[in-house]
Chains A and B, each alone.
Chain A
Amino acid sequence: MILKAMLSIWMAVIIVAAFLYTEAAVGFPGETSRILFFHVPQAWVATLSFLVSMIASATYLAKRNLKADYLAQSAAELGFLFCVLATVTGSIFAKATWGSFWNWDPRETSIVILLMIYGAYFALRSAVPDPERKRVFAAVYSILAFTTVPFLIFVVPRITASLHPENTMNPTQPGMDPKTLKVFLGSLLAYTGLFVWMLRLKMRILRLEGLKEPRFGDFI
């Protein structure tokens, strides 16, 4: 409880700091560079949840305990949510700086593939009636999908050069402005904390749903 309250305040501090404490990086139109504090942590959480989901899937296949499956499913759902958030925010930024909402930049490509994998994962889960088999299939698919990721790292950057700004948001200086770095790391922490909180909530909901038939409106 106390941790959750602290997280709420911490995220609020990050929001204030992101807009009022740091200065906008040079070389970007207007204040657009402030997207760094929200978009990048969202993408980070999306990647993290993909990893968590895959590890939980492997654990489920090895040990067959329900908790691992709940974790895999929750992480996948949150990963999907954060993927969408990162895609939408990134798309708005792309419109502001590069002039179009979508450019098939390597990272845009990989996030689309990630979205497709998540979509397939949920489609598979909903299409298998037998619960035990559903969990095994979902876990197997999750591992299969994860296996293809290294190929994307090899293959995708060859299509086009990246438009994403590299580590330095300010092209005139090496590295990141110290103020920016501080807030950015704080934001990563806040988003990771939020991810853990939401993940645990989702897992508890899944456990409850497993215990009994959920009533309509229980979780709305």
Chain B
Amino acid sequence: MKEGLGFVTGVNLIIWFGIAFYLFVLDRRIKKLEQESTDKDR
């Protein structure tokens, strides 16, 4: 086990969970807008 690999892994995980969090938030927001637009159609 080389030194520093743990640190790099941590940084990568933080970046990835940041991206995933963003995507989840985006997903929710789009869902809300989709519901809004179908409400308007009715």
Contact = CB atoms under 8 A, between A and B. Distances in A.
A208 B16 CA distance: 27
Contacts of A218: 29, 33
Contacts of B2: 24, 31
B8 A11 contact: no
Contacts of B24: 4
Interface string A4-39: 100110011001100110001000000100000000
Contacts of A20: 1, 5-6, 9
A16 B33 CA distance: 36
A185 interface: no
Contact of A219 (B26, B37, B40): B26
Interface in B9-41: 9, 12-13, 16-17, 20, 23-24, 26-27, 29-30, 33-34, 37, 40
Contacts, number: 51
B29 A16 contact: no
B1 to A, nearest CB: 8
A198 B2 CA distance: 34
B13 to A, nearest CB: 6
B20 A11 contact: yes
A155 interface: no
B37 A15 contact: no
B42 to A, nearest CB: 14
Interface of A: 4, 7-8, 11-12, 15-16, 19-20, 24, 31, 197-198, 201, 204-205, 208, 211-212, 218-219
Interface of B: 1-2, 5-6, 8-9, 12-13, 16-17, 20, 23-24, 26-27, 29-30, 33-34, 37, 40
